[in-house]
Amino acid sequence: MRDGRIILGGVEFDVRLTLLIIFCTLVPMLDYYGHSPTGVKAWDRFIFYFLGSALFIWVVYREPLSNFGFGWGDWRRGLLYTAVACAGMAVVLWFAARTPAMQNFYQGRAPNGLGRAIVLNGIELFGWEFVWRGLALFAFARAFGPGPAIFLQAVPFAFMHLGKPEIETLSTIFGGAAFGYMAWRTRSFVYPWLIHWFIVTFTLLVTTGVI
């Protein structure tokens, strides 16, 4: 192995990039097949996606998490993106969340109380956003450049929405890319996390009839 690369059968592999692709494939599979260290889905995903990503960065890249978007970054730009995105999505969701498919899927998603569901969603999405808009985005950008990385990280994110209402799932390749763009421009995954948390919370509020 030389310069972080290994040659097998005449084919050269970037070791870090290869391990990243394997990690970003296996972890969602473990999640999908119900491996649960805590018995609570939100905390399981926090462990898999955030703590797992943090450990991966420390072991494989041996760099601070801040190199992968963990921090406030350009907070002025980030807060502007967050405010504009949340306002725009509130208008869209006011109508979209009232469709039968969205109503059927999200009603009953807070069996133990709406407040608890909102908090757990925030915990769960913290991990979701860091693995894609943190680890994957910034690592892929090193290998392929920021443009391809913005769409590459959106692909597994979109597939993780399979089983949700079709209109929501089809939008996620574009929504995930938009989140990736924001994370890259702000150098932080925090603002996509806040926006994503708002989207899920607002959807629950509409579909449960609170607003």
Q: Which residues of 53-72 are buried (b: 16+ CB within 10 A; e: fewer)?
A: bbebbeebbeeebeebbbbe
Strand, coil or helix: what is 74?
coil
Q: How far apart are CA 122 and CA 204, in angstroms?
A: 13
Q: Is the pLDDT of residue 2 over 70?
A: no
Phi, psi of 162 (to 5 degrees): -60, 135
Confidence label for 202 from pLDDT (cuts 50, 70 and 90): very high
Question: What pLDDT, on the 0 to 100 scale, is given for residue 103?
Answer: 92
Per DSSP, what are the bridge partners of residue 8?
11
Q: Sign of the C-alpha dihedral, residues 203, 105, 97, 103?
A: negative
21-54 pLDDT per residue, tens: 999 999 999 999 989 999 999 999 999 999 999 9
Q: pLDDT for 106-125, tens place per residue? A: 988 877 788 999 999 999 99
| Statement: residue 164 has pLDDT above 80 | yes
| Residue-range domain boundaries for the chain | 24-207
